[in-house]
Structure 1
């Protein structure tokens, strides 16, 4: 007999970064995600910044250990975070990223891909809706 489980929703995503301030400047400043909370370590140094994603979910930007390993794109594991945008906002996002010196690495009919200051892949996606005027 199969058990019926409740549905799951994204609670939060976490990304580990070497430079917390630079990462916050990207996620809060460039992408405009509102800061929900800041955490400190036992010594009172910044440890984590939580940013609102919508729908009750948040992005936890966590400070990495100074000597921690890094992950290559080809390695198994999470590949990118895709944030939802409206198709009509795509060009405005393109201009916003360019004005802040963030290069678009690649694109599909539905998504634009850029890197945060740590090199993590971030997509701005409007799947399944094509860009206004595309078809």
Structure 2
């Protein structure tokens, strides 16, 4: 009898951005993801910043070409990155985003959605656990 292999895990996610410095300020500064590595291109210019996500995964923020295309929300492809938070932290995250000038675009019972400086959708989610007092 063959053993069933374990499910795949997330190794890393990558997002391509036009302004690497601004994106790092959002992901490392506003969201507090620790920077684990920086990469440069052949000329020594910043090319990529890797940020720790937990569970061994990381987010690679990669510099794009200046005039590359952008993706509309309704276009096929990845829709958003959802980062896990505890239900009890939701209001603290709301305040942290507001203090950083980051608007919450929409909410569900389990997630808050905002955009990074490039317009990419980022969710802070505590699914399947409800927020304390909800229900």
Q: After the TM superposition, which residues 94-113 of structure 1 pair with which residues of structure 2 at under 5 Å, given as runs?
A: 94-113=94-113
Residue aligned with 2:47, SS: strand
- 1:67 shift after superposition: 1.7
Whole-angstrom CA distance in 2 between matches of 1:53 and 1:4:
27
Report what 2:64 is aligned to: 64
Deviations 1:79-126 (CA, angstroms, capped at 9, x unpaired): 000000000000000000000000000000000000000000000000
- 1:3 shift after superposition: 7.8
Residue aligned with 2:83, SS: strand
Whole-angstrom CA distance in 1 between matches of 2:133 and 2:126:
14
Residue aligned with 2:28, SS: helix
- 1:12 shift after superposition: 0.2
TM-score, structure 1 normalization:
0.97
In structure 2, the gaps of 5 or more residues are none
In structure 1, the gaps of 5 or more residues are none
Whole-angstrom CA distance in 2 between matches of 1:134 and 1:4:
39
Deviations 1:34-81 (CA, angstroms, capped at 9, x unpaired): 000000000000000000000000000000011211100010000000
Find runs of 4+ consecutive structure 1 residues off by over 3 angstroms. Answer: 1-6
Q: After the TM superposition, which residues 1-135 of structure 1 pair with which residues of structure 2 at under 5 Å, given as runs?
A: 4-135=4-135
TM-align CA RMSD: 1.3
